[in-house]
């Protein structure tokens, strides 16, 4: 059994190797522009081995997505469970995503650029996975509405979409090089900007009727 375990993990290592190579290649050339042979040579394995571990290119993309998106959903779910303030939760979400970009930009690029957009044509489950993460944030916001911290005149879902959309386009800006994220400080400033704007924008008006 020990040896089977070892074999398994050795085999698994090859799988990882291919997956990591795929992430690099997808990020660099784009999903549609790259060939299986590119992935194989990047991973330094034979062409055929890719097909031993994966049905086809799309399944590779799916695996990348599943692994990483699941993480985000978990973070959101656990943030919600702790009884933190909305500010804390929102900051945790923003931090998590921007830090992830900082550490593994290739992964983020693939998830954002190659998967998020093409999901119209991909399988249902993927859309559901997106929904799940969004729903988590929507729940957090709904709860904050209940406690009177967030304005009640807007659907939580729409607010959640706005938050994610803001983050995503900023990431896209990084990826396209139209926003310069080189300095560490900049990331922090952007995190701050996102949380600030939404905390202020979503806050329930206090004693102030905001006269017309």
Partner DNA sequence: GGCTTGCTTGACTCGCAAGTCAACGCCCGT
Partner DNA sequence: ACGGGCGTTGACTTGCGAGTCAAGCAAGCC
Q: Which stretch binds DNA (CB under 7 A): 29-37, 96-104, 166-174, 200-208?
A: 29-37
Q: Does 6 bind DNA (CB under 7 A)?
A: yes
CA dihedral over 8, 11, 13, 15, signed as positive or negative: negative
What are φ and ψ of residue 33, in 5° steps? -85, -10
Q: Which stretch binds DNA (CB under 7 A): 20-28, 43-51, 104-112, 153-161?
A: 43-51
Q: Does 16 bind DNA (CB under 7 A)?
A: no
Contact call for residues 171 and 115 (beta carbons, < 8 A): no
Residue in the structure block whose two tokens are 């008006």: 205
Q: Does 183 bind a second copy (CB under 8 A)?
A: no
* Among 198, 208, 206, residue whose Cα is nearest residue 89: 198
Q: Which stretch binds a second copy (CB under 8 A): 4-12, 58-66, 138-146, 152-160?
A: 152-160
Which one of a second copy, DNA, none is in contact with 104 (Cβ closer than 5 to 8 A by kind)?
A: none
Burial (CB count within 10 angstroms: exposed 0-12, middle 13-18, buried 19+), residue 63: middle
State how far the alpha carbon of 50 is from the alpha carbons of 23, 56, 63, 122, in Å. Answer: 14, 8, 13, 21
Residue in the structure block whose two tokens are 């600030």: 196
- To DNA, the closest distance from the beta carbon of 46 in angstroms equals 3
Q: Does 14 bind DNA (CB under 7 A)?
A: yes
Q: Does 117 bind a second copy (CB under 8 A)?
A: yes
User: DSSP letters along 183-199, please?
Assistant: SHHHHHHHHHHHHHHHH
Q: Which is nearer to DNA, 47 or 66 (CB)?
A: 47
What residue ranges bind DNA (CB under 7 A)?
3-4, 6-7, 10-11, 14, 34-37, 45-49, 51-52, 56-57
**Which residues are at the interface with a second copy (CB under 8 A)?**
29-30, 32-33, 109, 112-114, 116-121, 127, 130-131, 134, 153-155, 157-159, 161-170, 172-173, 175-179, 189-190, 193-194, 196-203, 208, 210
């Amino acid at each position: 059994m020990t040896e089977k375990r070892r074999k398994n993990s050795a085999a698994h290592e090859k799988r990882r190797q291919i997956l990591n190579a795929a992430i690099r290649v997808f990020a660099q050339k784009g999903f549609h522009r790259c060939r299986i042979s590119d992935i194989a040579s990047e991973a330094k394995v034979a062409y055929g081995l890719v097909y031993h571990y994966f049905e086809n290119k799309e399944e590779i993309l799916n695996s990348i997505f599943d692994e990483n998106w699941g993480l985000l959903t978990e973070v959101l779910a656990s943030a919600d469970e702790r009884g933190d303030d909305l500010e804390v939760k929102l900051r945790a979400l923003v931090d998590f995503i921007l830090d992830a970009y900082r550490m593994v930009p290739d992964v983020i690029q693939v998830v954002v650029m190659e998967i998020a957009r093409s999901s119209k044509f991909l399988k249902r489950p993927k859309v559901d996975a997106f929904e799940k993460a969004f729903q988590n944030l929507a729940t957090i916001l709904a709860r904050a509405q209940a406690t009177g911290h967030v304005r009640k005149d807007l659907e939580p879902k729409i607010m959640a979409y706005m938050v994610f959309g803001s983050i995503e386009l900023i990431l896209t800006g990084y990826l396209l090089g139209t926003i310069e994220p080189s300095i560490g400080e900049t990331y922090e400033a952007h995190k701050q900007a996102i949380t600030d704007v939404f905390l202020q924008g979503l806050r329930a008006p206090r004693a102030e009727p905001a006269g017309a």
